[in-house]
Amino acid sequence: MELRPIKKKSVEVEAAEALRNHVVGGGVPPGGRLTEMRLSEALGLSRTTVRTALHQLANEGLVVQLPYTGWSVTSLSSTDAWELYTLRGSLEALAARLLAENLDSDKKGQLHRAFDALVVACGKGDEVAIVDRDLALHKLIVSLSGHRRLAEQYRLIEQQIRLYLIWSDRLMPSVEDIIATHRPIVEAIVAGDGRFAEGILRDHNETAGRVLFDFLKQREAAGVGREAPPPARARNRAN
């Protein structure tokens, strides 16, 4: 195996990664407060380093800075859900069409492996891993499309999509449904019909997005706080 140079990471980058994993892993609920002092104590880092990391997460849309009071994890509203599912639906639909029209055996293999990884995560019932593998499959479709600017735009909302998926995946009745809704995506792309794959991806995002939008809209009408965590799903495992 060929040796590759080891990439050194700055303390600020490592701090951002730790905080990002803490947030997207559900360590702090949507709307939950973050204080630089507590984070610096927990991480064993200076407040200046923690503040730099928090600004990075703010650029990714994961946290927001509150004037004079600190930071909070970004909460998800029905409007946020609508904007994210319509935007990612457009980006991913285009990526699916481009990928289907320029497919080769290597790309097919990568798609199948990404889907298999999602199936494994669902089989274990690990909700954090399910979100990771779900996002990884969609990111792969975008990256394999060969459209650099499309991939750059997707990266701008990638972590916001991760938060979106934490809610969206939990609204699936079971993990079997997560698998069942992603299998047609891979099959459509592998079939090589660009327009069909484009439609499948658009419908996938529209259907799941509308479920989350309606759910959040009902919570807002009922006066449920945006800091309330996503609903717990029955922990059914895939066979």
**Could you tell me if 108 and 69 lie in one domain?**
no
Residues 27 and 136 in one domain: no
Residues 28 and 124 in one domain: no
Residue 98 domain boundaries: 78-221
| Spatial distance between the Cα atoms of 206 and 196, rounded to a whole number of angstroms | 15
Helix (H, G, I), strand (E, B) or coil at 174: coil
**Considering its fold, how many domains does the chain have in total?**
2
> How many C-beta atoms surround the C-beta of residue 24 within 10 A?
21
- The pTM of this model reads 0.78
Print pLDDT tens along the chain (239 aa): 455 555 667 898 999 989 988 887 778 877 889 999 999 999 999 999 999 999 999 988 788 898 877 899 888 899 999 999 999 999 999 999 999 999 999 999 999 999 999 999 999 988 878 988 999 999 999 999 999 999 999 998 988 898 888 888 889 989 999 999 999 999 999 999 999 999 999 999 999 999 999 999 998 998 876 666 666 654 444 44
Tell me, yes or no, whether 69 and 82 share the same domain: no
Here the CATH number for the domain that contains residue 61 is 1.10.10.10
What value, to the nearest 5°, has the Cα angle with vertex 93 and ends 87 and 95? 105
Any residues with CB less than 8 A from the CB of 51 and at least 6 apart, and which? 36
Q: Please check whether residue 232 lies inside any domain of the structure.
A: no
Integer Cα distance of 65 and 71 in angstroms:
4
* Statement to judge: residues 194 and 94 lie in one domain: yes
Q: What is the CATH number of the domain that holds 114?
A: 1.20.120.530
